[in-house]
A and B are shown apart, each in its own frame.
Chain A
């Protein structure tokens, strides 16, 4: 039950795969801090445990009210999430609280199906598209030690193709 400071790169916890987590008191406590920290951070729609310095596979997300959201599952809090299906692709500019003052264009699936466990131990499946799907992929990447910079697909606008001159 606490707002924790956001860990910033180059903290090593952000670049290492996180360990899976058993449902129970520890998972509930970590996820409670995740939600408190997300709620306390302006415009924050999701946060993963490594971002509060905890190397565990847990994240929370809530895109309620975001103007780019189509699907909206409300508050999602999962441990050990897996993307079990995805479809489509779209490039959009992302930033991250753990890498402030920097944004990049990242290609993400348009729709994803995510399976995971609530901190109390219930199985949950989320089907998401558009912004919610992007947020899920961004948070789950954190659990694998991946930052958006690991997935940048172009320098600036995707408009100018690399042209070959012979």
Chain B
């Protein structure tokens, strides 16, 4: 927790993967007094992609940060954005975590149709990753962590997802997220 008032910005950076990207971006954030709170960074299709929620001292100018990022962005070939974001709403409590696995032959529309079905059931997607794995017969794999709201009927949601899966010709599994508290 930071004691003084802060503002939050969303920072993104994407560029061809190479060593030094995180160091260069976090150096700029540190030098402007920023604190990286939540972030995800990963290699996606050979590009290194960063999404960060950064706390800046109150009164800081996001445009200054954008300008400060221009130097490492130029040196490393990064596309960067900086945008102010509102204070995060409190997470809606009471849901049950489930994991959705979708896999099969790649085709357009898998993410769309699965996510539309989840949205229709008021199911919140907390985490989503897709990959194409394998060289000979590539398999499209999508894993989602979702939050099923109280009273939403997980069986109904699971059945709806399986129907979509069979229409798309992909396999769908829908299971409670297993975590053992020891």
Contacts and interface: CB of A to CB of B under 8 A. Distances in A.
Contact of A165 (B17, B131, B179): B17
* Number of chain B interface residues as a range: 10 to 19
A94 interface: yes
A96 interface: yes
Interface of A: 43-46, 68, 92-97, 103, 131, 134-135, 138-139, 148, 156-157, 159-160, 162-163, 165
Given A160-B129, A163-B43, A165-B43, A95 B181 contact: yes
A134 B179 contact: no
Contact of A94 (B43, B131, B182): B182
B85 interface: no
A131 B180 contact: yes
A68 B178 CA distance: 11
B30 to A, nearest CB: 23
Contacts of B179: 93-95, 103
22 contacts: A45-B180, A45-B182, A92-B180, A93-B179, A93-B180, A94-B179, A94-B180, A94-B181, A94-B182, A95-B180, A95-B182, A97-B181, A97-B182, A103-B179, A131-B180, A134-B180, A156-B145, A157-B99, A157-B129, A159-B131, A160-B129, A160-B141
Given A135-B182, A163-B43, A165-B43, 10 more contacts: A45-B180, A45-B182, A92-B178, A94-B182, A95-B182, A134-B180, A135-B180, A138-B182, A160-B141, A165-B17
A43 B180 CA distance: 9
Nearest to B16: A165
B143 interface: yes
| Highest count of chain B CB atoms <10 Å: which of A94, A135, A162, A165 | A165
A2 B178 CA distance: 31
